[in-house]
Amino acid sequence: MTNVYDNILGLIGNTPLVKLNHVTKDIPATVYAKLESYNPGHSTKDRIALHIIENAEKKGLIKPDSVIVETTSGNTGFSIAMVCIVKGYKCILAVSDKTKAEKIAYLKALGATVYVCPASVPADDPRSYYEVAKRIASETPNSVYINQYFNELNIDAHYQTTGPELWNQTDGKITHVFACTGTGGTLSGTAKYLKEQNPDIKVVGVDADGSILKTYHETGKINKTEIHPYQIEGLGKNLIPGALLFDKIDEYVRVNDEMSAYRTREIALKEAIMGGYTTGAVTQALIQYANSHEFKSDDLVVLIFPDHGSRYITKVYSDKWMEEQGFINNCFHNYDEIFKTEIIK
């Protein structure tokens, strides 16, 4: 029998590359998107959830009655909850209040206990989702704290899977890879593998306006004056993750909420790819990068699209939300023509 699996976890990895034909038409390079939404949990975080939990099992750190605890902006939580269902573990997750209601409902539907924490507080504040997860882990018997921000297995998961996949899928012709950085594991592990194959491959990280990662990469210092609230989930940080290998990243591009939202919607309209908010962010980063760097016709660029747009229907795909942010008038000058809705009475 072919294409048959013992359980849903067998579907993790080996996600496809799809050529972008319209949103990148002004860039002379060939640009592909790696659609991580093809993982069963619909995001790249499936890779780290399975890798970290199975590594803990091999080390005897997880028992049949163990509780898995983690901090998440949503996607890691989905993946952990999915793995826990298959393997029979309980799951407790701490999320920020930037996380939309449908994501929280999704986590609960997968059996997770969810704690919602304020996003506007410093990382070391006891109310932050980082500190809440650590406290829960310390107070819960037989708990295992995934700690994706400081877990080297976050990097290793992508070193073992995403990096080799990109190298093989492009027959080693990849010249640039772009990825959003939150924990940093996706880009760090991928970059580590690709740089070992060809050190000339350019690795570009994407940061959010309101985050400290770009400046830290360039100066080695944290500039707290840069920290301010922003809307993009799973991108940027107000702390420096231990799972982020800055020495593997050649350059950072910083993007804002508005243009990232516009690109997300544009990708759906022009490429028929329903990606998450970070899909627009990484595409916007490529466009900004192309304004100051020269691409050649034989360059092969890969953008990692981390997740699926179904988790953002009431956010970036919501006309009402876009209007509330003031994005529609600025980005969609012919809004009524593009998003016309006919109501039959």
Q: Are residues 30 and 59 in the same domain?
A: no
Q: Are residues 21 and 106 in the same domain?
A: no
Q: What is the 3-state secondary structure (H, E, C) of 126-193?
A: CCCHHHHHHHHHHHCCCEEECCHHHCHHHHHHHHHCHHHHHHHHCCCCCCEEEEECCCCHHHHHHHHH
- CA-to-CA distance for 287 and 323, rounded, in angstroms? 24
Q: Are residues 264 and 301 in the same domain?
A: yes
Q: Is residue 26 part of a domain?
A: yes
45 is catalytic: yes
Average model confidence (pLDDT) across the chain: 92
Of the candidates 283, 263, 264, which has an alpha carbon nearest to the alpha carbon of residue 274?
264
Residues 6 or more apart whose CB falls under 8 angstroms from that of 293 comprise: none
Q: Are residues 118 and 216 in the same domain?
A: no
The residue whose two tokens read 């919501």 is 318
Confidence of residue 345 (pLDDT cuts 50, 70, 90): low
Residue 333 has pLDDT above 60, yes or no: no
Please give the pLDDT value at position 123: 82
Percent of the chain with pLDDT over 70: 95
Contact (CB, 8 A) for 100 and 312? yes
Q: Are residues 142 and 95 in the same domain?
A: yes
Question: For the chain, how many structural domains are there in total?
Answer: 2
Q: Is residue 337 part of a domain?
A: no
Q: Is residue 244 part of a domain?
A: yes
Residue 336 has pLDDT above 90, yes or no: no
Residue 342 has pLDDT above 70, yes or no: no
Q: Are residues 67 and 204 in the same domain?
A: no
Of the candidates 288, 314, 291, which has an alpha carbon nearest to the alpha carbon of residue 233?
314
DSSP annotation of 98 reads T
Please give the pLDDT value at position 96: 87
Percent of the chain with pLDDT over 90: 81
Among the candidates 148, 183, 199, a domain finishes at 148
Please give the pLDDT value at position 339: 56
Of the candidates 97, 47, 91, which has an alpha carbon nearest to the alpha carbon of residue 233?
97
Q: Is residue 245 part of a domain?
A: yes
Please give the pLDDT value at position 337: 54
Of the candidates 59, 52, 41, which has an alpha carbon nearest to the alpha carbon of residue 148?
52
Please give the pLDDT value at position 329: 61
Q: Are residues 53 and 98 in the same domain?
A: yes
- CA-to-CA distance for 325 and 316, rounded, in angstroms? 10
Q: Is residue 339 part of a domain?
A: no
Among the candidates 148, 172, 205, a domain finishes at 148
Look up the CATH number of the domain holding residue 134: 3.40.50.1100
The torsion defined by the Cα of 121, 122, 128 and 129, in degrees rounded to 10, comes to: 120
Q: Are residues 122 and 190 in the same domain?
A: no
Q: Are residues 63 and 108 in the same domain?
A: yes
Among the candidates 100, 120, 148, a domain finishes at 148
Q: Are residues 235 and 263 in the same domain?
A: yes
Among 51-65, 194-208, 327-341, which is the least confidently predicted range? 327-341
Q: Are residues 181 and 266 in the same domain?
A: yes
Residue 331 has pLDDT above 70, yes or no: no
Please give the pLDDT value at position 1: 84
Please give the pLDDT value at position 341: 57
Q: Is residue 179 part of a domain?
A: yes
Q: Is residue 341 part of a domain?
A: no
Cα–Cα separations (whole angstroms), residue 143 to 18, 75, 92, 184: 40, 20, 9, 24
The residue whose two tokens read 């998003």 is 339
Residue 79 has pLDDT above 70, yes or no: yes
Confidence of residue 340 (pLDDT cuts 50, 70, 90): low
Contact (CB, 8 A) for 301 and 32? yes
Residue 138 has pLDDT above 80, yes or no: yes
Q: Among residues 34, 45, 192, 237, which one is catalytic?
A: 45
Which pTM was predicted? 0.91
Q: Is residue 61 part of a domain?
A: yes
Range of the domain at 141: 45-148
Of the candidates 262, 226, 257, which has an alpha carbon nearest to the alpha carbon of residue 339?
262
Report, as an integer, the average pLDDT of 291-318.
95
Residue 98 has pLDDT above 90, yes or no: no
Residue 73 has pLDDT above 60, yes or no: yes
Helix or strand holding residue 19 (H, E): strand 17-19
Q: Are residues 221 and 194 in the same domain?
A: yes
